Protein backbone atom coordinates (compact mmCIF):
# COMPACT_ATOMS: atom_id res chain seq x y z
CA UNK A 1 0.00 0.00 0.00
CA UNK A 2 2.99 2.32 0.29
CA UNK A 3 3.26 3.26 -3.40
CA UNK A 4 -0.31 4.62 -3.74
CA UNK A 5 0.11 6.67 -0.55
CA UNK A 6 3.49 8.06 -1.58
CA UNK A 7 2.17 8.90 -5.06
CA UNK A 8 -0.96 10.46 -3.56
CA UNK A 9 1.04 12.66 -1.22
CA UNK A 10 3.29 13.73 -4.13
CA UNK A 11 0.23 14.41 -6.31
CA UNK A 12 -1.35 16.66 -3.66
CA UNK A 13 1.94 18.46 -3.02
CA UNK A 14 2.47 19.10 -6.75
CA UNK A 15 -1.15 20.13 -7.30
CA UNK A 16 -1.20 22.93 -4.80
CA UNK A 17 1.50 23.92 -2.24
CA UNK A 18 4.55 23.43 -4.46
CA UNK A 19 3.34 25.45 -7.50
CA UNK A 20 1.89 28.10 -5.17
CA UNK A 21 5.27 28.45 -3.47
CA UNK A 22 7.03 28.64 -6.84
CA UNK A 23 4.56 31.22 -8.17
CA UNK A 24 5.21 33.38 -5.08
CA UNK A 25 8.99 33.06 -5.17
CA UNK A 26 11.18 35.85 -6.42
CA UNK A 27 14.10 33.77 -7.66
CA UNK A 28 12.49 32.56 -10.93
CA UNK A 29 12.95 36.07 -12.31
CA UNK A 30 16.67 35.70 -11.71
CA UNK A 31 16.82 32.48 -13.69
CA UNK A 32 13.83 32.07 -16.01
CA UNK A 33 15.32 29.10 -17.86
CA UNK A 34 15.79 26.98 -14.71
CA UNK A 35 12.37 28.03 -13.42
CA UNK A 36 10.73 26.95 -16.69
CA UNK A 37 12.34 23.52 -16.44
CA UNK A 38 11.00 23.23 -12.87
CA UNK A 39 7.47 24.30 -13.89
CA UNK A 40 7.38 21.67 -16.61
CA UNK A 41 8.67 18.98 -14.23
CA UNK A 42 5.96 19.93 -11.70
CA UNK A 43 3.22 19.69 -14.32
CA UNK A 44 4.35 16.34 -15.74
CA UNK A 45 5.26 14.76 -12.37
CA UNK A 46 1.98 16.05 -10.91
CA UNK A 47 -0.10 14.41 -13.64
CA UNK A 48 1.92 11.21 -13.48
CA UNK A 49 1.62 10.84 -9.70
CA UNK A 50 -2.10 11.72 -9.72
CA UNK A 51 -2.87 9.02 -12.29
CA UNK A 52 -0.29 6.68 -10.73
CA UNK A 53 -1.80 6.96 -7.24
CA UNK A 54 -5.28 6.04 -8.50
CA UNK A 55 -3.91 3.28 -10.73
CA UNK A 56 -1.74 1.57 -8.09
CA UNK A 57 -4.52 1.78 -5.51
CA UNK A 58 -7.09 0.44 -7.94
CA UNK A 59 -4.86 -2.41 -9.07
CA UNK A 60 -3.60 -3.36 -5.61
CA UNK A 61 -5.90 -6.45 -5.26
CA UNK A 62 -4.64 -7.82 -8.57
CA UNK A 63 -0.93 -7.94 -7.84
CA UNK A 64 1.99 -6.23 -6.19
CA UNK A 65 3.33 -4.59 -9.33
CA UNK A 66 1.60 -2.80 -12.22
CA UNK A 67 2.49 -5.27 -14.93
CA UNK A 68 1.26 -8.47 -13.22
CA UNK A 69 -1.77 -6.59 -11.86
CA UNK A 70 -2.81 -5.52 -15.36
CA UNK A 71 -2.26 -9.08 -16.64
CA UNK A 72 -4.38 -10.46 -13.77
CA UNK A 73 -7.05 -7.84 -14.38
CA UNK A 74 -7.55 -8.99 -17.96
CA UNK A 75 -7.06 -12.72 -17.42
CA UNK A 76 -9.50 -12.76 -14.49
CA UNK A 77 -7.05 -13.96 -11.83
CA UNK A 78 -9.06 -12.30 -9.06
CA UNK A 79 -12.80 -12.79 -8.68
CA UNK A 80 -13.78 -10.06 -6.24
CA UNK A 81 -12.86 -6.36 -6.18
CA UNK A 82 -13.66 -3.79 -3.50
CA UNK A 83 -15.72 -0.86 -4.76
CA UNK A 84 -13.05 1.61 -3.58
CA UNK A 85 -10.49 -0.07 -5.84
CA UNK A 86 -12.92 -0.09 -8.75
CA UNK A 87 -13.65 3.62 -8.31
CA UNK A 88 -9.92 4.43 -8.19
CA UNK A 89 -9.31 2.39 -11.32
CA UNK A 90 -12.09 4.17 -13.21
CA UNK A 91 -10.76 7.49 -11.92
CA UNK A 92 -7.28 6.72 -13.26
CA UNK A 93 -8.59 5.82 -16.69
CA UNK A 94 -10.93 8.83 -16.85
CA UNK A 95 -8.28 11.27 -15.64
CA UNK A 96 -5.65 10.00 -18.06
CA UNK A 97 -8.16 10.17 -20.91
CA UNK A 98 -9.30 13.64 -19.88
CA UNK A 99 -5.74 15.01 -19.75
CA UNK A 100 -4.77 13.46 -23.09
CA UNK A 101 -7.97 14.58 -24.81
CA UNK A 102 -7.52 18.13 -23.56
CA UNK A 103 -3.91 18.19 -24.72
CA UNK A 104 -4.95 17.06 -28.20
CA UNK A 105 -7.87 19.52 -28.49
CA UNK A 106 -5.73 22.40 -27.21
CA UNK A 107 -3.01 21.62 -29.75
CA UNK A 108 -5.51 21.23 -32.60
CA UNK A 109 -7.31 24.46 -31.67
CA UNK A 110 -4.03 26.40 -31.34
CA UNK A 111 -2.86 25.11 -34.70
CA UNK A 112 -6.15 26.02 -36.39
CA UNK A 113 -6.02 29.51 -34.86
CA UNK A 114 -2.38 29.92 -35.89
CA UNK A 115 -3.13 28.90 -39.47
CA UNK A 116 -6.07 31.30 -39.73
CA UNK A 117 -3.97 34.09 -38.27
CA UNK A 118 -1.14 33.31 -40.70
CA UNK A 119 -3.59 33.52 -43.62
CA UNK A 120 -4.74 36.95 -42.45
CA UNK A 121 -1.13 38.08 -42.03
CA UNK A 122 -0.24 36.87 -45.54
CA UNK A 123 -3.04 38.93 -47.07
CA UNK A 124 -2.68 42.01 -44.89
CA UNK A 125 1.09 42.48 -44.60
CA UNK A 126 4.02 43.12 -46.88
CA UNK A 127 7.37 41.35 -46.57
CA UNK A 128 10.37 43.08 -45.03
CA UNK A 129 13.79 41.43 -45.08
CA UNK A 130 14.79 38.60 -42.76
CA UNK A 131 11.48 36.73 -42.42
CA UNK A 132 9.74 39.78 -40.98
CA UNK A 133 6.41 41.12 -42.22
CA UNK A 134 4.93 44.57 -41.82
CA UNK A 135 1.25 45.12 -41.05
CA UNK A 136 -0.13 48.53 -41.83
CA UNK A 137 -1.68 49.28 -38.45
CA UNK A 138 -1.16 52.27 -36.15
CA UNK A 139 -1.20 50.09 -32.99
CA UNK A 140 2.37 49.29 -31.86
CA UNK A 141 2.65 45.50 -31.90
CA UNK A 142 5.29 42.87 -32.55
CA UNK A 143 4.87 39.14 -32.27
CA UNK A 144 6.02 35.91 -33.80
CA UNK A 145 3.91 33.29 -35.51
CA UNK A 146 5.80 30.05 -35.06
CA UNK A 147 5.14 27.34 -37.59
CA UNK A 148 6.38 23.86 -38.37
CA UNK A 149 7.90 24.97 -41.66
CA UNK A 150 8.49 28.68 -41.39
CA UNK A 151 8.30 31.28 -38.67
CA UNK A 152 7.14 34.80 -39.30
CA UNK A 153 7.89 37.82 -37.16
CA UNK A 154 5.19 40.46 -37.56
CA UNK A 155 5.71 44.14 -36.76
CA UNK A 156 3.26 46.99 -37.24
CA UNK A 157 3.78 50.38 -38.86
CA UNK A 158 2.77 51.90 -35.52
CA UNK A 159 5.64 50.10 -33.80
CA UNK A 160 8.20 51.32 -36.33
CA UNK A 161 6.95 54.88 -35.85
CA UNK A 162 7.13 54.52 -32.07
CA UNK A 163 10.53 52.86 -31.57
CA UNK A 164 14.07 54.03 -32.23
CA UNK A 165 16.22 51.72 -34.36
CA UNK A 166 18.02 50.12 -31.41
CA UNK A 167 14.73 49.51 -29.57
CA UNK A 168 13.36 47.90 -32.74
CA UNK A 169 16.45 45.70 -32.84
CA UNK A 170 15.70 44.59 -29.26
CA UNK A 171 12.10 43.75 -30.15
CA UNK A 172 13.10 41.71 -33.21
CA UNK A 173 15.73 39.76 -31.24
CA UNK A 174 13.14 39.09 -28.52
CA UNK A 175 10.63 37.72 -31.04
CA UNK A 176 13.30 35.64 -32.79
CA UNK A 177 14.12 34.00 -29.45
CA UNK A 178 10.46 32.95 -29.08
CA UNK A 179 10.62 31.38 -32.52
CA UNK A 180 13.98 29.60 -32.30
CA UNK A 181 13.40 28.30 -28.76
CA UNK A 182 9.86 27.16 -29.71
CA UNK A 183 8.24 28.78 -26.68
CA UNK A 184 4.84 28.17 -28.26
CA UNK A 185 5.15 24.45 -27.42
CA UNK A 186 5.65 25.11 -23.69
CA UNK A 187 2.76 27.58 -23.72
CA UNK A 188 0.41 25.09 -25.38
CA UNK A 189 1.29 22.47 -22.75
CA UNK A 190 0.40 24.81 -19.90
CA UNK A 191 -2.71 26.07 -21.68
CA UNK A 192 -3.80 22.43 -21.99
CA UNK A 193 -3.09 21.90 -18.28
CA UNK A 194 -5.28 24.87 -17.44
CA UNK A 195 -8.00 23.74 -19.88
CA UNK A 196 -8.09 20.28 -18.27
CA UNK A 197 -8.09 21.47 -14.67
CA UNK A 198 -9.70 24.94 -14.65
CA UNK A 199 -10.96 24.40 -11.09
CA UNK A 200 -7.39 23.92 -9.88
CA UNK A 201 -6.55 27.11 -8.00
CA UNK A 202 -3.02 27.09 -9.32
CA UNK A 203 -3.55 26.20 -12.98
CA UNK A 204 -4.26 29.75 -14.16
CA UNK A 205 -1.37 31.19 -12.19
CA UNK A 206 0.95 28.53 -13.51
CA UNK A 207 0.01 29.42 -17.06
CA UNK A 208 0.50 33.15 -16.39
CA UNK A 209 3.80 32.60 -14.60
CA UNK A 210 5.12 30.39 -17.40
CA UNK A 211 4.06 33.01 -19.96
CA UNK A 212 6.01 35.66 -18.08
CA UNK A 213 9.13 33.48 -17.68
CA UNK A 214 9.07 32.88 -21.44
CA UNK A 215 9.01 36.64 -22.04
CA UNK A 216 11.98 37.05 -19.68
CA UNK A 217 13.87 34.29 -21.44
CA UNK A 218 13.35 36.09 -24.75
CA UNK A 219 14.38 39.37 -23.09
CA UNK A 220 17.65 37.73 -22.02
CA UNK A 221 18.32 36.94 -25.65
CA UNK A 222 17.67 40.55 -26.66
CA UNK A 223 20.04 41.75 -23.90
CA UNK A 224 22.89 40.10 -25.78
CA UNK A 225 22.56 42.64 -28.58
CA UNK A 226 21.27 45.80 -26.87
CA UNK A 227 21.71 47.66 -23.57
CA UNK A 228 19.30 46.98 -20.70
CA UNK A 229 18.04 50.56 -20.88
CA UNK A 230 17.19 50.19 -24.57
CA UNK A 231 15.37 46.93 -23.86
CA UNK A 232 13.54 48.51 -20.89
CA UNK A 233 12.26 51.35 -23.09
CA UNK A 234 11.20 48.89 -25.78
CA UNK A 235 9.28 46.77 -23.23
CA UNK A 236 7.58 49.81 -21.76
CA UNK A 237 6.61 51.17 -25.16
CA UNK A 238 5.31 47.94 -26.60
CA UNK A 239 3.56 46.98 -23.36
CA UNK A 240 3.74 43.34 -24.24
CA UNK A 241 5.56 41.57 -27.01
CA UNK A 242 3.07 38.74 -27.02
CA UNK A 243 1.00 37.61 -29.95
CA UNK A 244 -0.71 34.75 -28.20
CA UNK A 245 -4.17 34.71 -29.62
CA UNK A 246 -6.06 32.76 -27.02
CA UNK A 247 -4.62 34.04 -23.75
CA UNK A 248 -6.84 36.87 -22.56
CA UNK A 249 -4.80 39.44 -20.71
CA UNK A 250 -6.37 42.50 -19.18
CA UNK A 251 -4.66 45.85 -19.57
CA UNK A 252 -3.56 45.77 -15.92
CA UNK A 253 -1.98 42.33 -16.27
CA UNK A 254 -0.09 43.54 -19.35
CA UNK A 255 1.32 46.55 -17.52
CA UNK A 256 2.22 44.50 -14.45
CA UNK A 257 3.94 41.94 -16.62
CA UNK A 258 5.90 44.58 -18.52
CA UNK A 259 6.98 46.35 -15.33
CA UNK A 260 8.12 43.03 -13.80
CA UNK A 261 10.16 42.41 -16.91
CA UNK A 262 11.81 45.82 -16.61
CA UNK A 263 12.41 45.72 -12.86
CA UNK A 264 14.06 42.33 -13.01
CA UNK A 265 16.65 43.61 -15.51
CA UNK A 266 18.43 44.98 -12.43
CA UNK A 267 18.32 41.64 -10.57
CA UNK A 268 21.50 39.60 -10.28
CA UNK A 269 21.21 36.26 -12.12
CA UNK A 270 21.34 33.14 -9.94
CA UNK A 271 24.78 31.55 -9.64
CA UNK A 272 25.46 28.55 -11.88
CA UNK A 273 25.49 26.15 -8.93
CA UNK A 274 22.00 27.23 -7.83
CA UNK A 275 20.69 26.80 -11.38
CA UNK A 276 22.16 23.29 -11.54
CA UNK A 277 20.52 22.52 -8.20
CA UNK A 278 17.11 23.61 -9.51
CA UNK A 279 17.46 21.46 -12.62
CA UNK A 280 18.50 18.53 -10.38
CA UNK A 281 15.33 19.04 -8.30
CA UNK A 282 13.27 19.00 -11.51
CA UNK A 283 14.87 15.71 -12.58
CA UNK A 284 14.23 14.29 -9.10
CA UNK A 285 10.56 15.32 -9.27
CA UNK A 286 10.17 13.38 -12.51
CA UNK A 287 12.17 10.41 -11.20
CA UNK A 288 10.15 9.86 -7.98
CA UNK A 289 6.80 8.89 -9.52
CA UNK A 290 8.54 6.98 -12.32
CA UNK A 291 10.58 4.93 -9.83
CA UNK A 292 7.55 4.36 -7.56
CA UNK A 293 5.55 3.03 -10.50
CA UNK A 294 8.23 0.97 -12.20
CA UNK A 295 10.43 -0.46 -9.43
CA UNK A 296 7.95 -3.23 -8.44
CA UNK A 297 7.63 -4.16 -12.12
CA UNK A 298 11.40 -4.41 -12.51
CA UNK A 299 11.69 -6.36 -9.25
CA UNK A 300 8.97 -8.80 -10.35
CA UNK A 301 10.57 -9.28 -13.74
CA UNK A 302 13.98 -9.90 -12.13
CA UNK A 303 12.62 -12.76 -10.02
Partner 1 sequence: MLTLGELERSVMELIWASDHSLSAYDIIEAMPERKLASTTILTVLSRLENKGFVVRERTSRPHLYRAEGSREEHMADLMHEVLGGASDRAAVLERFVGQVSPDEAAILRRLLSS
Is 143 a binding residue for partner 1 by CB under 8 A? The answer is yes
Say if CB 121 and CB 145 are below 8 A apart.
yes
Within residues 159-178, the interface with partner 1 by CB under 8 A covers: 161-162
The one among 25, 84, 100, 136 contacting partner 1 by CB under 8 A: 136
Give the nearest distance from C-beta 127 to partner 1 in angstroms: 8
Contact assessment for residue 193 and residue 171, using Cβ atoms and an 8 Å cutoff:
no
**CB-based contacts of 92, cutoff 8 Å, min separation 6:** 51, 54, 55, 58
- Selected from 8, 254, 294, 297, the binder of partner 1 by CB under 8 A is 254
The number of helix segments (H) and strand segments (E) in the chain equals 12, 4
Q: Which stretch binds partner 1 (CB under 8 A): 7-15, 58-66, 158-166, 174-182?
A: 158-166
Residue 96 binds partner 1 (CB under 8 A): no
Query: On the CB side of 101, how many CA atoms lie within 13 Å of its CA?
Result: 8
Residue pair 260/15 in contact (Cβ under 8 Å)? The answer is no
Q: Is 119 in the site for partner 1 (CB under 8 A)?
A: yes
Rounded distance between C-alpha atoms, residue 176 and residue 262, angstroms? 19
CB of 29 to partner 1, least distance (A): 13
By CB under 8 A, the residues from 185 to 244 that bind partner 1 are: 228-229, 232-233, 236-237, 239-240, 242-243
Question: What is the C-alpha separation between 85 and 208, in angstroms, rounded?
Answer: 37
- Residues contributing to the site for partner 1 (CB under 8 A): 117, 119-124, 126-127, 135-141, 143, 154, 158, 161-162, 228-229, 232-233, 236-237, 239-240, 242-243, 245, 249, 252, 254-256, 258-259, 262-263, 265-266
Amino acid sequence: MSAPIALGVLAIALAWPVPLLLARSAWPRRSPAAALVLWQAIAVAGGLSMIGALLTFGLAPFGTDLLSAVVNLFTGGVQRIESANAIALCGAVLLAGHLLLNLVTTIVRAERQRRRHAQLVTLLSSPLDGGTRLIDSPAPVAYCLPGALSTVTVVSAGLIALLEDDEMHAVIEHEKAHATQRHDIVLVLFRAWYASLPWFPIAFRAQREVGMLIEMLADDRARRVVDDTVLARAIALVGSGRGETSVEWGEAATVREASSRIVRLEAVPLPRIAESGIVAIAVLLLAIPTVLLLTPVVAALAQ
